Structure 1
Amino acid sequence: MKTTLLENLEKSRNYTIQTAQSMPENKFDFKPVDEVWSFKELIHHIAYCIQWMEDNFLKNKEADWAPPSVKGSKSEIIDYINKAYADVTSTIKGVEKLTDAQINGVYAIIDHSTHHRGQAVTYLRCNHIDPPEYVFLA
Structure 2
Amino acid sequence: MIRIYYREKEYMHTKRKYRVNEDFFKTWSNNMAYILGFFAADGHISSRNHTVCFSQKDPEILEQIRCELQSNHPLVLNNTDVHTLIIGSKVMKYDLIDLHGMTSDKSTSLRMPKIPVICLKNGFIKIWNYI
Structure exhibiting the larger radius of gyration computed from Cα positions = 2
In the superposition, the TM-score normalised over structure 1's length comes to 0.25
More helix by share: 1
More strand by share: 2
In the superposition, the TM-score normalised over structure 2's length comes to 0.26
Q: Which has the higher contact order (CA 8 A, sep 6+)?
A: 1
